[in-house]
Chain A
Amino acid sequence: MIEFSEAFGVAFSLLISLDHELAEIVMLSLSVSLVAVFIAIIVGMPLGAALAIFTFPGRKFIIVGLNSLMGLPPVVVGLVVYILLSRSGPLGVLGLLFTPTAMIIAQVILVLPIIAALTRQIVVELWSEYEEQLRSLGATPWQALPTLLWDGRYSLVTAMLAGFGRAIAEVGAVMIVGGNIDHVTRVMTTAIALEVSKGDLALALGLGGVLIFLSVGVNALAYLINKPASLNNPINKPTLFRSPIKENVR
């Protein structure tokens, strides 16, 4: 018990002093996950929107596939990427195994189905509201796609944050394909796992604190963004109460 409270103390001082090792691990975690989420957004959002708007043979199959991929066990994804990237694997020549790039690849595979599936749900709903209006204006489905993504932007942020949450907190895949190499591929989750197994709780607790802070932050952000967007609109400020129409139709 004494050890435990000591560990807390050390963890706290590590955080306060922005310990170099801790900072390095946090930065790598953030950059790997952010890049992965960014790629997943670029691919997943148009994919999800297309699945919402277009009807084509095999569409249902892809949707069911995406939805089930949402729950992929990270360890399995790690294993598959490991096999693909390993020296004897089909992509072995690239020499990517145990690099941050390999970790990004694994996280993209984990996050993309989430972002695409959530985007599809959001866009389906919006499309049912917008379809006749957009068709009436003359928009083709290809023109409707970016319109719907833009108009769904507030809800879509939730999808992005869900993706980021999964990426940053995931340990199984990055452990396998990254190898938890000090200064190279050690991220928060793998470091925690290692430190705990070594019995060194201080760094683990410090990193755990950062992780919790990030996930609470992400959720708070999602909540704030999804509040009615008009709260900070000029129109809702009391000073701008609208008077009856002054301008007239000529």
Chain B
Amino acid sequence: MTSQSILPLELRAVNFEVQGKRLIKDVSCTFEQNLRSIIIGPNGAGKSLFLRLCHGLLQPVSGQIIWQGGGDRDSARQQAMVFQRPVMLRRSVRANVDYALSIRSVARPEREAIIDEVLQRTGLSRFADYPAHALSYGEQQRLALARVWALKPQILFLDEPTASLDPPATHLVEQIIEAIHVAGTRIVMTTHDLGQARRIADEVLFMHRGRLLEHAPADQFFDKPKNEHARAFLGGELLWWHPKHPLHKPGSKKEICQ
């Protein structure tokens, strides 16, 4: 984990589609080093797809995803992702972290110390020998964080890491993310919690219907979003809701926001 930085990450006119349906439309942006970016937008905006594209799990149909700092093969090892629904391997908590380290070819003698440290820092030491599947949802979420933390990635993608967590657990997860960031990891994260976005974000990306509509420093964005949809979203309006047609008539062509 010593190699040079793979950042910044640049997306150039990235499009993604499934069976001819365009789901990510013409997204261009750059992620500089050492910031925390929060992606917000309504359900179905394409936030999760966007993260997967950046992380290399999906290939764009056109456009480029460029790691300015290094080659493709190397860049994958410097990234990690926490999924909206993290998969716990059917083995102990400790073995889950150990597995991730072994895949990244960290030598066995070094692993022990790393595992102990990340479990301790995520408050999971007591559960080290429990089957990961027996953990509560919030504990599993912390294990997912411990697992990626152990990898010391240069950039970490997080997809709604605190969805359906209670306030103390959310607070804990935010602290963990902060600690990971302080240790030198670039954070790119989605959330539906605007309070959380304000707490964490250095910069905000607002997505809507597959488009990146705004990308701005956090202060500026929350103070005075330029995009009207972003304004409406922050104001708590439902973006698919039309004031004159509260319930879409079947087949109604006149949808809002086009």
A binds B: yes
The chain A residues found within 8 Å of chain B, CB to CB, are 129-130, 132-139, 143, 147, 150-151, 153-154, 229-230, 233-236, 242, 244-250
B86 contacts the other chain (CB 8 A): yes
Q: Which residues of B contact A150 (CB under 8 A)?
A: 90-91
Assuming the A-B contacts A247-B125, A248-B123, A249-B176, are A138 and B104 also in contact, with contact meaning beta carbons closer than 8 angstroms in the complex?
Answer: yes
Decide if A236 touches B123 in the complex (CB within 8 Å). Answer: no
Give the distance to chain B from A40, nearest Cβ to Cβ, in Å.
24
Q: Determine, out of B16-24, B126-134, B184-192, B236-244, the stretch whose residues face the partner at the interface.
A: B126-134
B247 contacts the other chain (CB 8 A): no
Size bracket of the B interface: 35 or more
Q: Which residues of A contact B179 (CB under 8 A)?
A: 249-250
Q: Which residues of A contact B91 (CB under 8 A)?
A: 150-151
Decide if A236 touches B134 in the complex (CB within 8 Å). Answer: yes
Most chain A CB atoms below 10 A, which of B79, B126, B179 = B126
Q: How far is the CA of A132 from the CA of B127 in the complex (A)?
A: 25
> Contact partner of B99 among A147, A234, A248, CB < 8 A?
A147
Assuming the A-B contacts A139-B103, A230-B131, are A249 and B52 also in contact, with contact meaning beta carbons closer than 8 angstroms in the complex?
Answer: no
> Contact partner of B57 among A136, A244, A250, CB < 8 A?
A136
Q: Which residues of B contact A136 (CB under 8 A)?
A: 55, 57, 79-81, 83
Kindly identify, within residues 129 to 180 of chain B, every residue whose CB is under 8 Å from any CB belonging to chain A: 130-131, 133-136, 147, 151, 168-169, 172, 175-176, 179
Q: Which residues of A contact B125 (CB under 8 A)?
A: 247
Q: Which residues of B contact A233 (CB under 8 A)?
A: 130-131, 134
In the A-B complex, the 3 residue pairs with the closest CB atoms: A133-B87, A247-B123, A235-B134
Decide if A249 touches B100 in the complex (CB within 8 Å). Answer: no
Q: How far is the CA of A235 from the CA of B139 in the complex (A)?
A: 13
Decide if A135 touches B57 in the complex (CB within 8 Å). Answer: yes
Give the distance to chain B from A162, nearest Cβ to Cβ, in Å.
21
B35 contacts the other chain (CB 8 A): no
B120 contacts the other chain (CB 8 A): yes
Interface secondary structure of A, over-half rule: helix
The chain B residues found within 8 Å of chain A, CB to CB, are 52, 55, 57, 76-77, 79-81, 83, 86-87, 89-91, 99-100, 103-104, 120-127, 130-131, 133-136, 147, 151, 168-169, 172, 175-176, 179
Q: Which residues of A contact B79 (CB under 8 A)?
A: 136
Q: How far is the CA of A244 from the CA of B171 in the complex (A)?
A: 13
Most chain B CB atoms below 10 A, which of A135, A137, A154, A250 = A137
Assuming the A-B contacts A133-B87, A245-B168, A249-B121, are A138 and B76 also in contact, with contact meaning beta carbons closer than 8 angstroms in the complex?
Answer: yes
Q: Which residues of A contact B52 (CB under 8 A)?
A: 132
Decide if B86 touches A133 in the complex (CB within 8 Å). Answer: yes
Question: 27 pairs across A/B with beta carbons < 8 Å?
Answer: A130-B87, A133-B83, A133-B86, A133-B87, A136-B55, A136-B57, A136-B81, A136-B83, A137-B80, A137-B99, A138-B77, A150-B90, A150-B91, A151-B89, A151-B90, A230-B131, A230-B134, A233-B134, A235-B135, A236-B134, A245-B123, A245-B169, A245-B172, A247-B126, A249-B122, A249-B175, A250-B179
Q: Which residues of A contact B86 (CB under 8 A)?
A: 133
Q: How far is the CA of A99 from the CA of B127 in the complex (A)?
A: 53
Q: Which residues of A contact B89 (CB under 8 A)?
A: 147, 151
Q: Which residues of B contact A129 (CB under 8 A)?
A: 87
Give the distance to chain A from B46, nearest Cβ to Cβ, in Å.
16
Assuming the A-B contacts A133-B83, A247-B123, A248-B123, are A138 and B175 also in contact, with contact meaning beta carbons closer than 8 angstroms in the complex?
Answer: no
Give the distance to chain B from A181, nearest Cβ to Cβ, in Å.
46
- For A234, the closest partner residue in chain B by CB is B130
Q: Which residues of B contact A153 (CB under 8 A)?
A: 90
> Contact partner of A250 among B55, B77, B121, B124, CB < 8 A?
B121
Q: How far is the CA of A246 from the CA of B168 in the complex (A)?
A: 12
Q: Which residues of B contact A234 (CB under 8 A)?
A: 130
